[in-house]
Structure 1
Amino acid sequence: MEAQRLLSRLSTNGSVPFIKEKGMLFDISTPCFLQPTKWNSTFGLAPCRIRSNRRQYLCAVSSSKIQDIPADLGHHNLKPMRKRLAVFVSGGGSNFKAIHAGTLNGSVLGDVVVLVTNKGGCGGAAYAKEHGIPVVLFPQTKEPHQFSPGDLVTTLRELDVDFILLAGYLKLIPVELVQHFPKRILNIHPSLLPAFGGKGYYGLKVHKAVIASGARYSGPTIHFVDEEYDTGRILAQRTVPVCAFDTPEELAARVLHEEHQLYVDAVAALCEDRLIWRDDGVPLIRSKADPQQYN
């Protein structure tokens, strides 16, 4: 309704009056070619999003002034908005640190706005506190008033979280989160799924099983999260060799090195809206260098 009222108040010269929301005034000025009109996909432009504290407003482009827009301005040239990320960890959080570094150096068009952990004293939580990132403890097993899955969903929605990233979080994600964030929760697993995945396969247990199987290759997998352990759709993988006399620790170090870059690359694609879904439900990453190629 707010978006409709905004469009209805666009004047003929394209100026938009002040919008008052929760006691604050927002002066949203628009170019002269913005007119009150219904969106038409044939214009070749995506709607512009204006984000206030909570709501997003849509502005449509008038066909009567379409010639004022540069010819090379198309959907893929519009700069995506920075995404708001929630990261879940249970340990040291090396993948969390790599993603956070990516948000700071510009390789990831997003910001980590909250860290969720089931271990308040873990290294990932300490890192978050050092960098001013709020930390949420979930689940809270010893609190008199339990912080429920519904409370967690409410908290993440209040923070306007766009995507949830699991980075060594060892608890099963509540079904409430999966339902409220469909196709918006990623996890990284240290084997080439669907092999060596599922309940009980985490940490060195994965690498011990890989070596014992005689597999010649392993590597990290990034997948979307569903209601079960490690069964969601695979988004990206990277292989590393399993050497003849590897220890689990040596293989783990080799896989972890690839995890950091693979996860940052996948999150960057997510934040830049470079994911598409095939008709059979398989997610693909569109190449940044060549939009016609998929990874």
Structure 2
Amino acid sequence: MCVSWGSALAKARVGVLLSGRGSNFLALAEACRRGEVPAEIVLVVSNRPEAPGLAKAQELGVPTVAIPSKGLAREEHEKHLLAALHQAQVDWVCLAGYMRLLSPQFVAAFPNRILNIHPALLPAFPGLDAQRQAWEYGVKVSGCTVHLVDAGCDSGPIVVQRVVEVRDDDTPETLAARILEQEHIAYPQALRLLLTRRWHIEGRRVVFAREA
């Protein structure tokens, strides 16, 4: 059993990794601004210098850095990434559409302190294009999952899931849009729980202590 404890005594310092538009970053940033999540986003990093999420972070006054991954070995890229996160004194790492699989060495640098959000109800439909996978399979419900990151692909312990009905007239695009709405709720909810509640991991399960 791996034990960790949430604490709301001080704001957690969060680093966000993204590769694209950054809508989940914006949802986290807004929840922090409203005081719903006791955290401060102190750095946004992208492996794609042209990622729209970087520009959005800059508009909000959040420090940003682009660390291009193209042409670099994963070990070399992650060395620069870890250096930036450690320099910013990051406590937690949140992946917000970060399109790279992290190495076991990277994950070990932030044990049980890396969160990811996936647009399906894991363990179903891991990997890329999960919304289309679910739609093509013909499931009646899908949704999103916030999980702690381990060395696998979308395989870490689950923190929060939210369910979305798959309608008969859905397309992969309309389903993805409704799932995204739930992602923007689930991600702040998961981070708030981890930062404010006592919790531990039993096997694969994230178990939260009962509230007084």
Answering whether residue 144 of structure 2 is matched by residue 220 of structure 1, we say yes
Runs of 4+ in 1 over 6 A off after TM superposition: none
Residue 102 of structure 1: aligned partner: 31
Q: Show structure 1 runs of 5+ residues with no match.
A: 1-75
What does the per-residue CA deviation read over 1:131-177, in whole Å, with 9 as the maximum and x for residues that have no partner?
2212122344368xx96422322332222211000011111123332
Return the letter of the residue paired with 1:87.
V
For residues 122-133 of structure 1, the aligned pairs below 5 Å read 122-133=51-62
Percent identical across equivalent pairs?
37
Q: Is the 8 A contact 2:21 2:53 kept in 1?
A: yes
Give, in whole Å, the separation in 1 of the partners of 2:90 and 2:60. Answer: 18
Return the letter of the residue paired with 1:153.
L
Residue 3 of structure 2: aligned partner: none
Tell me the TM-score normalized by structure 1: 0.65
Give, in whole Å, the separation in 1 of the partners of 2:62 and 2:187. Answer: 20
For residues 127-166 of structure 1, the aligned pairs below 5 Å read 127-141=56-70, 148-166=77-95
Q: Is the 8 A contact 1:215 1:242 kept in 2?
A: yes
Return the letter of the residue paired with 1:226.
D
Relative to structure 1, is the Cα distance of residues 119 and 151 closer, same or farther in structure 2, using a 3 angstrom cutoff?
closer
Give, in whole Å, the separation in 1 of the partners of 2:194 and 2:168. Answer: 36
Bigger relative contact order (CA 8 A; separation at least 6): 2
Equivalent in 194, 203, 212 of residue 280 of structure 1: 203
Q: Is the 8 A contact 1:217 1:242 kept in 2?
A: yes
Give, in whole Å, the separation in 2 of the partners of 1:79 and 1:250. Answer: 37
Q: Is the 8 A contact 1:153 1:176 kept in 2?
A: no
Equivalent in 167, 171, 187 of residue 247 of structure 1: 171
Residue 59 of structure 1: aligned partner: none
Give the CA deviation at 1:275: 4.4
Give, in whole Å, the separation in 1 of the partners of 2:120 and 2:114. Answer: 19
Query: RMSD across aligned C-alpha pairs, in angstroms?
Result: 2.1
Q: Is the 8 A contact 1:90 1:118 kept in 2?
A: yes
Equivalent in 26, 29, 47 of residue 118 of structure 1: 47
Residue 43 of structure 1: aligned partner: none
Q: Show structure 2 runs of 5+ residues with no match.
A: 1-5
Return the letter of the residue paired with 2:20.
G
Give, in whole Å, the separation in 1 of the partners of 2:16 and 2:114. Answer: 10
**Between Structure 1 and Structure 2, whose CA radius of gyration is higher?**
1
Return the letter of the residue paired with 2:21.
G
Answering whether residue 180 of structure 2 is matched by residue 291 of structure 1, we say no
- Count residues in correspondence: 205
Give the CA deviation at 1:233: 1.1
Give, in whole Å, the separation in 2 of the partners of 1:219 and 1:279. Answer: 24
Which secondary structure does the structure 2 equivalent of 1:219 belong to?
strand
